[in-house]
Structure 1
Amino acid sequence: MASMGRFTVGSHVWVEDADVAWIDGLVEEVHGDELIINCTSGKKVTANVSSVYPKDVEVKRCGVEDMTRLAYLHEPGVLRNLKSRYGMNEIYTYTGNILIAVNPFQRLPHLYNDHMMEMYKGAEFGELSPHPFAMADRAYRLMMNYGTSQAILVSGESGAGKTESTKMLMQYLAFMGGKVESDGRSVQQQVLESNPVLEAFGNAKTVRNNNSSRFGKFVELQFDQNGKISGAAIRTYLLERSRVCQISDPERNYHCFYMLCAAPPEDRERYKLGDASLFHYLNQSNCIKLDGMDDSSEYIATRRAMDIVGISSDEQDAIFRVVAAILHLGNVEFSEGSEADSSVPKDDKSQFHLRTAAELFQV
């Protein structure tokens, strides 16, 4: 909370604004704990000192890479710096050893290619522009130098970019510690291909995010004494199970349902599936297809990822039989039976879906 004595006539300040969160201006009058501020937007406001913060007039227009160098590390100062850097196409900023990412809502493959990984390999932390690769390299170096486990916490609200950031961190660590296994599949490949599998069965479109993780995950990468990946373990938690049977418009259910409905004809025939819009668990929302996402090709990519991870064909078939059976169960409707408190499938359509679900569950 700001104190009364911090502001005088002519002070540059930030004041809360209902439309744009924070707006800057000059203090014109001071009346006790009330300030009259002439804002750069042209309007004049009266504000209590508790909702006003000092503005750093000497900060660079392009912002600073590390926000610990800001004169004032308060909310409007931080937001202004992030906005300035975003305007210069810089989506990453440090606050000490914390990396802040601003979601660009577009693909930027040039930021995450092999050339960039080579640049950050072994570079001093802070020597190059802020980047997830710098965070991953620092953790890797500390692990190798001190022989102790390291942890990287990725947090943020829905749509902030946690899923993508985690993938970048794993990509770099796999790059540093990759080695080829005897069967031709590298551990590096298996670690990275675990992401498409997890996303297919745990991610869905929400109002704010087309690929929102509806679960939490703890990823553990294991390294040997030479710094090479020797294994990996992923623990998932807090899966949003209620989404399976009830979704709201314009959200979607889990990606795997739509992928299976867009699978090649022979697979759809095996699981007795049709268009996604025919299933109650999917057509509760008007959003069936996603712009920029081809469910058919995503199905093929997911099956390939499952192969690389080591899930056998029989196990894959069992998994997709369960997915298909769930869709069929959602289409079963009941009506009153002849006995008290009894029910029977409503019609032939419900009978078909119930029988199909039983066949797929093999019961």
Structure 2
Amino acid sequence: MAASVSKVIVGSQVWLEDPEVAWVDGHVSEISDDQKLTVVLSTGKQVVVTNASAVHAKDPEFPENGVDDMTRLAYLHEPGVLQNLKSRYHHDQIYTYTGSILIAVNPFKRLPHLYTTDVMADYKQALFGELSPHPYAIAHTAYRQMVNQEISQSILVSGESGAGKTESTKNLMQYLAFMGGRPSSEGKRSVEQQVLESNPVLEAFGNAKTVRNNNSSRFGKFVEIQFNESGTITGAAIRTYLLERSRVCQVSDPERNYHCFYMLCAAPPEESEKYKVGNPRKFHYLNQSNFYELNGVDESKEYLATKKAMDVVGISSDDQDAIFRVVAAILHLGNIEFTKGSEPDSSQPKDDQSRFHLETAAELFM
């Protein structure tokens, strides 16, 4: 995709690689006899380019707001793609197509107007490509193909840490629940409600703050939503794999351990006293990092929301108690230190504090 010298003339708009901002644009002001290009950058700087392959053509008619499908770009090279994504990002257009593939750019802020029931209703009536790029359009296409062709469909969500995979997956599940839902029977939660409420449960025990992402999934998951011949949700199965277990006992600053530990420490007093937890700063598995609180997140409310979600997906109160007993016991295990015992090859708790945490862990594990 690099512009050849023969195609570049004085006045041509081009892109040049830049170590700080990736790519910077400019125009060719001079071409010497030995084919060296003098380029005046938009920053005002002037550079001489000896290798023509380093120059990429820039579209002089590129629209200010970019294009919603990048197959329509005049130049489908890296600077052209990045310019398009950046232009759309500045207008809160965080979704862009490349053919039938949806590209998402994390806005690092809430955009609730993009995910209302009215928006879902709009995509329900539209063909693919008629409306702005959106996860709902991908989900709608998959749903329609499943119903019309009676063949199972798969949607792959991939990307680097912090790209928005977790949120995009929730958006897809939200739309499929919207399309395949049915009224819940008296006193019972519908299947689609249970499917959606599985997300906060999985996130509590499988997500953590990393350097680049406050809610990073530290595991992989395969979500299977089952429909009958009329397109109504009848069941679901979620398979999880590759959980990052090392994070439980070793956390790097400024990351955090799994959300569930901080939620339990912030639980209502009667619950935190029951599990003998409290200030997260006193636990070794949490205080290896100096980062304890997430902006805009109330851990106490998250704890109650997680318990409510566990109710919805069918986890009994006894099982919930057992789960949080294990979570609390793990925290206490991290605070046990041993010293050499009186017998050969024996050990004993280092002090009264270690003995307290050992006895508490044993009590919680029953």
Instruction: Report the TM range for the smaller structure's normalisation.
Output: over 0.9
SS of 1:351's equivalent in the other structure is helix
Is the aligned partner of 1:90 residue 2:85?
A: no
- Selected match of 2:132 from 117, 124, 129: 129
The question of whether the paired residues in 2 share the 8 Å contact of 1:180 and 1:187 is answered with no
Counterpart for residue 11 of structure 2: 10
Counterpart for residue 184 of structure 1: 188
Is the aligned partner of 1:343 residue 2:344?
A: no
AA partner of residue 111 (structure 1)? L
Matches of 1:26 and 1:45, distance apart in 2? 11
Counterpart for residue 21 of structure 1: 22
Alpha-carbon offset, residue 360 of structure 1: 1.1
The question of whether the paired residues in 2 share the 8 Å contact of 1:216 and 1:239 is answered with yes
C-alpha distance after superposition, 1:266-293 (max 9, x if no partner):
1112211121111000011111111111
What aligned pairs does 1:254-269 form with structure 2 within 5 A after superposition? 254-269=258-273
Matches of 1:356 and 1:62, distance apart in 2? 60
The structure 1 segments of at least 4 consecutive aligned residues displaced by more than 4 Å after TM superposition are: 30-34
Alpha-carbon offset, residue 304 of structure 1: 0.1
Counterpart for residue 99 of structure 1: 102
Is the aligned partner of 1:46 residue 2:48?
A: yes
For structure 2, the residue ranges without an aligned partner over 5 or more in a row are none
Is the aligned partner of 1:69 residue 2:60?
A: no
Is the aligned partner of 1:36 residue 2:35?
A: no
Matches of 1:240 and 1:358, distance apart in 2? 25
For structure 1, the residue ranges without an aligned partner over 5 or more in a row are none
AA partner of residue 57 (structure 1)? P
- Selected match of 1:214 from 195, 206, 218: 218
Matches of 2:155 and 2:291, distance apart in 1? 35
RMSD: 1.4
AA partner of residue 14 (structure 1)? W
Matches of 2:312 and 2:91, distance apart in 1? 39
Is the aligned partner of 1:165 residue 2:168?
A: yes
Alpha-carbon offset, residue 339 of structure 1: 2.6
Counterpart for residue 79 of structure 1: 82
What aligned pairs does 1:302-321 form with structure 2 within 5 A after superposition? 302-321=306-325
- Selected match of 1:120 from 118, 123, 138: 123
Matches of 2:33 and 2:214, distance apart in 1? 50
SS of 1:344's equivalent in the other structure is strand
- In structure 2, relative to structure 1, the CA distance for the partners of 1:330 and 1:11 (3 Å cut) is same
Is the aligned partner of 1:289 residue 2:293?
A: yes
SS of 1:164's equivalent in the other structure is helix
Alpha-carbon offset, residue 145 of structure 1: 0.7
Alpha-carbon offset, residue 88 of structure 1: 2.0
Matches of 1:31 and 1:300, distance apart in 2? 73
Counterpart for residue 145 of structure 2: 142
What aligned pairs does 1:217-236 form with structure 2 within 5 A after superposition? 217-236=221-240
The alignment's TM-score, normalised by the length of structure 1, stands at: 0.96
Matches of 1:198 and 1:131, distance apart in 2? 24
AA partner of residue 132 (structure 1)? P
AA partner of residue 303 (structure 2)? Y
AA partner of residue 165 (structure 1)? S
Counterpart for residue 255 of structure 2: 251
The question of whether the paired residues in 2 share the 8 Å contact of 1:29 and 1:37 is answered with no
Counterpart for residue 303 of structure 2: 299
AA partner of residue 110 (structure 2)? R
Alpha-carbon offset, residue 4 of structure 1: 4.1
- In structure 2, relative to structure 1, the CA distance for the partners of 1:100 and 1:320 (3 Å cut) is same
C-alpha distance after superposition, 1:212-258 (max 9, x if no partner):
11111111111111101111111111111111001011111000000
Matches of 2:232 and 2:31, distance apart in 1? 64
Matches of 1:52 and 1:361, distance apart in 2? 65
Alpha-carbon offset, residue 352 of structure 1: 0.9
Moved more, 325-334 or 97-106: 97-106
Alpha-carbon offset, residue 323 of structure 1: 0.4
Is the aligned partner of 1:323 residue 2:327?
A: yes
Matches of 1:259 and 1:31, distance apart in 2? 69
AA partner of residue 117 (structure 1)? M
Alpha-carbon offset, residue 33 of structure 1: 6.5
Matches of 1:31 and 1:309, distance apart in 2? 73
Matches of 2:55 and 2:225, distance apart in 1? 46
Matches of 1:248 and 1:33, distance apart in 2? 51
AA partner of residue 198 (structure 2)? S
Counterpart for residue 276 of structure 1: 280
The question of whether the paired residues in 2 share the 8 Å contact of 1:9 and 1:30 is answered with no
Matches of 2:120 and 2:339, distance apart in 1? 61
Aligned length: 362
